[in-house]
Chain A
Amino acid sequence: MSLCEQRLQEERKKWRKDHPFGFYAKPIKKTDGTLNIRHWEAGIPGKKDTLWAKNNAIYPIQIEYPADYPSKPPKISFPAGFYHPNVYPSGKICLSILNEGQDWKPSITLKQIVLGIQELLNSPNPNSPAQDPAYRAFTQNKQKYVENVEKQSLKYSKG
């Protein structure tokens, strides 16, 4: 078993044993029914008592682990068109810990990553804007921003 797979198996084991409340994360099933350990899907709830937690929304992300993980960071994306100042139109997330050569370290775990993304949801970094609409609304028209985020939370509501 390669280092990448071994580490991912362990991540999976750890996750099943203990993970933050409201989150989910699991490898995707291939068409033949087996698990693709290098491709995960996960869900991130909005932080309690914040704008993002409205409608009990859980925001889905796709995680793709490269073959040289954990030397290289995984690629993580929201669905395309996700409304957030630090998410590209393609859905890719601009977060320093997910950036090789910036703050990525092989010791960063899945738990740290998803908690980091949850944190980013409610506290966007205006110094690294990644999309125009959300960035513009966030910096210039807070009311519109709040409205749009709420609209989005409705879309990802889990009842």
Chain B
Amino acid sequence: MVSTGTDFYSNNNNFLYSSDEENDDVEIMFDDSSDESSHIDDTSNKLQSFLPNKNKLEKLASISSFSTKNTHVLVELLKKDKINNEIAVSHRKFKNKNDYLLFPNKQNFINYQILELNNLLSKYNNELTSILCDKPDNSLEEYKDRLISLLATNSWNIFQIEKKLINLPTEKENREDNILSTTGLLNDIIIINNFDQDALDCPICCETITDFEKTSFIKITNCDDSSHIACKDCYITYLKSNISETFSINCIGGACKTKISYTSIKKFNETFFNNLIKFSLLQCFNDLNNLAINSCPEQECDNVILTNYQDDSIIDLTTTVNLESVSCLNCHKFCLSCKKESHSPITCILLKKWFNKINEGNESLNWVLNNTQPCPNCDVDIEKIDGCNHMKCGFCKYEFCWICNKNWEGHGGSFYDCMNKRDMDNKKEKNMQNQSFTRFRNYYKFFIESENNMLLDMRLFNNLTSKKLNNLSTLFGMSFVELEFLNDCLRELIQARNMIKYSFALLYFMDQSHNLFYIFTHNQMSLFSKIDEVSELLLDINMDSTLPNSKRDIKVLQMKPYLIQATSMLKRLQQNLSKCGQDLVEKKLVIYN
């Protein structure tokens, strides 16, 4: 019906943007270099073309420990779908509830799982218990706490714990204790209230205490120094002042590096314990390098996404062009790599530049830009108020040089050299910025306009309450499920608007002289016209009004087939645009300025 990318790619089969209306259910897109038609309907054919990749699949499956149990599901899935030579970018729902696959590039995939925060701990408990041991008393509160502290100190990453387990003796007894004790995290807080002396001074507040029953002293069991004690009040003040800054607290004694275990902190105060857990989780959520555990960036959405991502070896985040957006159980789409709302087709790096650009005019943000630097590891803005150039990010604890932004390690001697270099870079940057300002303003206008349109559609979406749906369902005698198409349509519309918005941002960075630029704008325009069409239609049937109006509501029913079709069209056009944008970035047709 509407063909998009294919027209432009008729000479090059490698860039086939699926544009066939019949393939509504295909979410995985494939490159096809051998077959021009690309739509093989015969299942055996598909299976055959899949076979050469079997080894690869097994290799991939072996990377992922999630997938050992899911490999058969994956094979089934690949048989069922239209399979050609290579899996390109997309993600796919497993049959298994809430299990997904994500393909950030052609070589790798990430397996991920969506959970609600409440279910997170119980899931972890089950998984950990299976790799540790079946204790008869594993229902005990303390055992659970130990598991949680194990996770909190290991980036909530079960693979990390498994790795540590390999290096430990094989006895199954108390394996969690073993790991905890190797990190020095197995200790107890003891309360001492009988001493040889009659009176003792607390080394912190210098109060002389004679009545040990009334005021007790606190000590950590695996710290050998008997002077590392403090009265209960002082110890609590000490813990309190540290609780929101770190997830591992040391013993109170001067230079003592003994860590205090979570379980002993819990004995002190349950809130402290919970805060530590929260801080540790939050740090993992915010750590852009930790893909293993992510939270939905939407406020008031407590979905957590766990992936089988283990370390940098699978995907290099800096070169991954576009880590496709993931959507949580509440349909909030977001990007796994920058942990912000979905921004396809623009990449995370470019998006950051774009927002920097926008903020140039804003005074308070100007201040941030002039007076702070983003942490090279986690991108948190850091202001330097005093101290030397040896910076330690308060957020992710990354140590770097303030001048050249490089890792501090091995930096020592060449300290004053990097200062001169940076000044020169700054000057170059400024010239470039002046040239591109006019161009920026134009695209920024489009960007803001699309954002406003999106907000309007979101209002419409929020108005489509259950009350409205109720009215419609009684009017037509239809179930809610049958009316679901209205929700789907609006959701797709909003997502399409979101994509249009970010595509303008990408256009700003692109080389206008290249042919692909026009292909991209063409794709963009087809999506744009479809959006207009759909939103006009929705306006026509007046989704905005909550009052029942039989004449107009009848129209909804008449429009149903068209709206369903339009929804899938929108989806398809979005895929095209996203793929095209990805090609642009991959081909380095982006002017980085």
Chain A contacts to B: CB under 8 angstroms = 3, 6-7, 9-11, 70-71, 86, 88, 92, 94, 97, 99, 101-103, 105-109, 112, 126-130, 132, 135-136, 139
Q: Which of B254, B256, B416 has the most CB of A within 10 A?
A: B254
Q: Cα distance A108–B256 when bound, in Å?
A: 11
CB neighbours of A107 from chain B (8 A): 203-204, 228, 230, 252-254
B84 to nearest A CB, angstroms?
Answer: 55
**How far, in whole Å, are A73 and B389 apart by their CA atoms in the complex?**
21
Give a binary string over B379-390; 1 marks a CB under 8 Å from any A CB, 0 the rest.
Answer: 000000011111
- B255 interface residue, CB < 8 Å from A? yes
Query: Is the CB of B446 closer than 8 A to any CB of chain A?
Result: no
A129 CB contact (under 8 Å) in B201, B241, B256, B415: B415
Which residues of chain B have C-beta atoms less than 8 A from A112's C-beta?
254
User: Which 6 interchain pairs have the tightest Cβ spacing?
Assistant: A10-B206, A130-B388, A106-B204, A128-B390, A128-B388, A71-B241
Interface status of B534 (Cβ within 8 A of chain A): no
| Cβ of B189 to closest chain A Cβ, rounded Å | 16
Q: Known contacts A101-B394, A105-B252, A129-B389: does B204 contact A6 (CB below 8 Å)?
A: no
| Cβ–Cβ < 8 Å partners of B411 in chain A | 127
Residue in B206, B388, B389 whose CB lies within 8 Å of A6: B206
Indicate if B52 sits at the interface (CB-CB under 8 A). no
CB contact between A127 and one of B230, B241, B390 (< 8 Å): that residue: B390
Closest Cβ neighbor of B242 among chain A residues: A101
10 A–B pairs (Cβ distance < 8 Å), ordered by A:
A6-B206, A10-B206, A70-B205, A71-B241, A105-B254, A106-B234, A106-B238, A129-B388, A129-B389, A129-B415
Q: Are A108 and B389 in contact (CB under 8 A)?
A: no
A97 in contact with B206 (CB, 8 Å): no
Q: How far is the CA of A108 from the CA of B394 in the complex (A)?
A: 22
Residue interface mask B189-228, A partner, CB < 8 A = 1: 0000000000001011111000000000000000000001
Tell me the residues in window 369-409 of chain B with beta carbons closer than 8 Å to chain A beta carbons. 386-390, 392, 394, 408
Bound complex: CA A99 to CA B391 (Å): 13
Which residues of B approach A to under 8 Å, CB–CB? Answer: 201, 203-207, 228, 230, 234, 237-238, 241, 245, 250, 252-256, 386-390, 392, 394, 408, 411-413, 415-416
Note all chain B residues with C-beta closer than 8 A to A86: 388
Q: Are A94 and B388 in contact (CB under 8 A)?
A: yes
Whether B387 lies near A126 (C-beta < 8 A) is no
Q: Which residues of B contact A92 (CB under 8 A)?
A: 386
Q: How far is the CB of B385 from chain A (nearest CB, A)?
A: 12
Distance from B237 Cβ to chain A, minimum over Cβ atoms (Å)? 6
Closest Cβ–Cβ distance, residue A9 to chain B (whole Å): 7
C-alpha gap A29/B390 in the complex (Å) = 37
Interface contacts beyond A106-B238, A129-B415: sample of 15 additional A-B pairs, CB < 8 Å, sorted by A = A3-B205, A7-B205, A70-B205, A71-B237, A71-B241, A92-B386, A94-B388, A99-B387, A106-B237, A106-B252, A107-B204, A107-B253, A108-B254, A126-B413, A127-B412
Residues in chain A near residue B238, CB distance under 8 A: 71, 105-106
Query: Across the A-B interface, how many residue pairs have beta carbons closer than 8 Å?
Result: 71
**CB contact between B206 and one of A9, A71, A94, A99 (< 8 Å): that residue:** A9
Q: A residues within 8 A CB of B255?
A: 97, 103, 105
Which residues on the B side are within 8 Å of A136 (C-beta)?
A: 416
Cα A126 to Cα B408 in complex, Å, equals 12
Please determine whether A70 and B388 come into contact, CB atoms closer than 8 angstroms.
Answer: no
Q: Name the CB-closest residue of A to B205.
A: A3
Minimum C-beta distance from B193 to chain A (A) = 20
> How far is the CB of B203 from the nearest CB of chain A, in Å?
5
Taken together as a complex, chains A and B put the C-alpha atoms of A97 and B415 apart, in Å, by: 23
Report A-chain residues with C-beta under 8 Å of the C-beta of B387. Answer: 94, 99, 130
Report chain B residues within 8 Å CB of A3: 205
**Whole-angstrom distance between the alpha carbons of A94 and B388 in the complex?**
8
* Measured CA separation A158–B104 after assembly (Å): 70
Min Cβ gap B71→A in Å is: 47
Q: Determine if A70 and B413 form an interchain contact, defined as CB atoms under 8 angstroms apart.
A: no
Residue in B closest to A106 when the chains form the complex, CB atoms:
B204
Cα separation A94 to B230 with both chains bound (whole Å): 28
Question: Does B416 contact A7, Cβ atoms closer than 8 Å?
Answer: no
Q: How far is the CA of A136 from the CA of B416 in the complex (A)?
A: 9
Residue of A nearest to B234 (CB): A106
A9, A107, A126: most-surrounded residue (chain B CB, <10 A): A107
B230 touches A126 (CB 8 A): no
Q: Given A94-B388, A129-B415, does the pair A70, B254 have CB atoms closer than 8 Å?
A: no
A73 to B507, CA, bound (A): 52
With a 10 A CB-CB cut-off, give which of B250, B386, B388, B408 has the most chain A CB atoms. B388
CB distance from A61 to the nearest CB of B (A): 17
Contact residues in A for B203 (Cβ distance below 8 Å): 107, 109
Closest CB of chain A to B457's CB: distance in Å?
A: 45
B393 nearest CB across to chain A (Å): 11
**B40 to nearest A CB, angstroms?**
62
Establish whether residues B413 and A139, one from each chain, have CB atoms under 8 Å apart when the complex forms.
yes
- How far in angstroms is the closest Cβ of chain B from A145? 15
Question: In the docked arrangement, what's the CA distance between A127 and B388, Å?
Answer: 10
Task: Give the Cβ gap from B483 to chain A, nearest Cβ, in Å.
Answer: 55
Q: Enumerate chain B residues within 8 angstroms of A88, measured Cβ to Cβ.
A: 386, 388
Q: Are B206 and A126 in contact (CB under 8 A)?
A: no
Task: Report the separation of the CA atoms of residues A111 and B237 in the bound assembly, to the nearest whole angstrom.
Answer: 23
Chain B hits for A70, CB < 8 A: 204-205
Structural contact, B254 and A7, CB atoms closer than 8 A = no
- Chain A residues with Cβ below 8 Å from B252 are 105-107
CB neighbours of B408 from chain A (8 A): 127
CB distance from A140 to the nearest CB of B (A): 9
Residues of A within 8 A of B416 (CB): 132, 135-136
Q: How far is the CA of A109 from the CA of B204 in the complex (A)?
A: 9
Known: A129-B388, A129-B389. A6 touches B207 (CB 8 A): yes
**Which residues of chain B come closer than 8 Å to A99, judged between CB atoms?**
387
Q: Bound complex: CA of A107 vs CA of B228, how far in Å?
A: 8
